[in-house]
Each structure stands twice: as C-alpha cells, then as structure tokens.
Amino acid sequence: MLIAAARIITAVRAPYGAAEVLAPGYVAWENGQIASVGPGQPPGRPDIELGDGVLLPGLVDIQVNGYFGVELSAADEVGWGAVARRLPETGTTAFVPTFITAPVAEMAAAVRRAADFAPDLAGMPGAARVLGVHLEGPFISPKRPGAHNPAWAAAPDPGAVADLLAAGRGLVRVMTLAPELDGAMAVIRQLTSAGVLVGVGHSDATAAQVSAAARCGARLVTHLFNAQRPLHHRDPGVVGQALADTRLVSSLIADLHHVAGQVVAIAFAAAPGRICLISDASACAGMPPGRYALGGEPIELGEGDGTPPVRADGTLAGSALRMDSAVANMVATGVGLADAVAAATRIPADLIGRGDLGRIAAGAAADLTWLGDDLRTRATWVAGRLAYGSHLG
C-alpha cells in the first residue's frame, strides 16, 4: 500500500526535538509494517491520495475505563472486542483498559478474567490493539480519591501486588499509586522490576516524595492536576514535581473540563515532550446522556458535547472524550499540532515500551490515522488494514 498525503506528521523527533512534518509526503507499507516514508511525491503511483487534512500515527490511549456503554473492568471478551473494534472511529489504534480502585480480591478476579481472553484479541482484524491493563489503584490516598471509593483504598503490600501480577499473567502494564503511603517505595521497586510502568496519582504526596518515587522507578504522573496535591509556590506538591522533574511524563485528560485551557498551555510549556494525552474515558463515552457505571458505581452523563460524567455529589468521574478531540482541544489552547500529535502517539507509546507504535517510520507498525482539516477522524488503519473509513476501502 502506498499513500500520498498533503501533510504527514510522523511524530518522529526531528532536530531540536520538534516532531517531523512532511508537506507533502508519502508512506508505504507491506505486511502490516511501514516500509518507507519520505517527503515530496511518492516513488510510484499511489493507491490512495489524501489531498487535505493530515496523516499521523494511530493514537495511543493508555487510560480507558470504558467506551460505547461497556465498562471494561466488568466486561467479557465480547464487550472488550466491541470497544476495540469501534475505537478506530476516534483515531485510536491502541489502548490500555483501566480498572479503578476496588477491593484487592475483586481487582485480582477482574484481571484474572481479562487475562483469560485478552490474548485472543491481539490479532483481531481491524480492531485497536489491547496493550495490557492499567490498575489505577487500589493503593491510593483516601485524601485524594477523586471518583474512586475511598473505602476501598488499600495500603501498599508486596503480597497483594504479587497476587495482582500473578492474576494478570503479564497483562498488567501500568499501576497508579500514591507514593506517600507506607510501603509504597518497596512496591514501586517491585513493580518496576516486574516491567510494570508505575504512575503517581490519587496522591497527596509532597514534591520530595514524588522525587523519591522517581528514584525508585516511577516514570508517570497520572492525570496531571486531577486528584493530587496541587502546585503552591512554597509547596510544589505532585504537580510542581511532575512539571520540573525530567524523569517523569505526565498524562493529561484533554477535555478542557478536567484542566482549563490556560493550564494546559502552561503544562506543555513547562514540560515539553513530557505530556501524554489520555481520554480517561468511562463507559458513557460515545453514548447518549444517561446513567452508566465506573468502578461498579453509578455515574451520570449530562447534555453537552464533551461534558464529563459525574458522581452523585458532582465529582468528575472519567470523561466522554475522543482522542481525536483531545488533539483538537490541545491545538485550540495554542499547542502546536505536531506537539499535540506527539503527545497522543509517540510519547505514550514510548512510555509503555512500545517503540513500534506511535510513529510513522520504517519498521514501525502500519497504524495510521487520517484527520480532516477539522481534526476529526476520517480513516484509520491498524497493522495496514483499514479499520475505519469505508470510502477508502
């Protein structure tokens, strides 16, 4: 397959750290892998010509609680498959299902159930890739629960971690925890040694405690600004350390409700190349207003495009965000398109150790998304197979 495009954002680092932009350019792939990419006219007659919009790597979302009416922590193989098949509509070609805080035994049972069928989804044609599971909890601070049930928060325990990892049989890829809790540093080292990405989140940690977590191997700050000790000029907290510490990448819920546009701009300016866009989508994403569930407890999605769901007390409870909208929202705040794309592709892919994803480069997977000039998804390819955009089939 050979595609010519008016504009391509490769998300590959160019000189001085900027993402590479080809205008025009071409991409060729074979057997699900990119064979060549370059500027100017293609070296042959293209199979597809994209005369407008922008071609970019498939979007990578490392925090998805649910989508299209499906809560992933409670769903079976059919539910996961339904989400994976439809996420390419949003430009997403790879994602990490996320389970929020629950009693440890229940979380282990949910991970064990998912591990029974998740490998069978790996080769599902035309579906977004499942990259593992993100356990957001249960080792969180009851002081910063957000939409999590604080009664289910648990103290970090190596035995509980071992049980969760054993239940997942390699499926657990990310865990978010509060590093200020007793025993957290040992657990961070345990998880890091097991190849699990550790995120700081739902945390009342001081800057020094976040720095200590990074020394132990933590590399992520989960949904920057939300459910964590904020920035104060004499108490940098989680936010201040996240923005200042080059060891850390911060995920950001980019719906402009969880974080105001001006603050988004500050984050990108303060931590260039270290912001990762996530949807933190709940089961209500892609669905009409109504009642849904997050962590087995009710949430309500109201009217209004992009409005996040809430708990009964008004607490924000995940989002109803599309990843292509996340990119568009960042651009609306003044972030450059290439930087916004990198934050939704290469940066999260690298963070979870998938250097074959999130970039348009020879040898990378042929996961691609074509956005219109309005930055809405027009077509998506996963492993070189058209997953969305029947007009191009």
What is the pLDDT at residue 16?
41
What is the pLDDT at residue 391?
73
Binning the chain into helix, strand and coil, the percentages to the nearest 5 are: 30, 30, 40
- Cα separation, 343 vs 260, in Å, equals 17
Contact by Cβ (8 Å): 192, 353: no
What is the pLDDT at residue 305?
75
Structure tokens at 61: 């979302």
> Is the omega angle on the peptide bond into residue 24 within 30 degrees of 0, that is, cis?
yes
What is the pLDDT at residue 262?
97
Strand 59-64 to 92-100 pairing: parallel
62 and 48 in a common domain: no
- Cα separation, 78 vs 59, in Å, equals 23
Q: Phi/psi of residue 99, each to 5°?
A: -110, 125
Helix (H) or strand (E) holding 36: strand 33-39
Q: Domain limits at 375?
A: 2-55+361-392
164 and 110 in a common domain: yes
Structure tokens at 338: 């290439």
**Residue owning tokens 């629960």:** 145
91 and 23 in a common domain: no
- Cα separation, 132 vs 207, in Å, equals 29
Answering whether pTM is above 0.85, one says: yes
User: Has 280 been annotated as catalytic?
Assistant: yes
Question: Which CATH number covers residue 71?
Answer: 3.20.20.140
Total structural domains within the chain: 2
What is the pLDDT at residue 19?
57
- Cα separation, 326 vs 207, in Å, equals 28
27 inside domain: yes
116 and 9 in a common domain: no
Q: Which residue is catalytic, options 245, 255, 280, 367?
A: 280
What is the pLDDT at residue 17?
43
175 and 42 in a common domain: no
Contact by Cβ (8 Å): 354, 346: no
**Residue owning tokens 């080059």:** 246
**Residue owning tokens 């970019």:** 56
152 and 49 in a common domain: no
Spans of the chain below 70 pLDDT: 14-19, 393
- Cα separation, 181 vs 25, in Å, equals 51
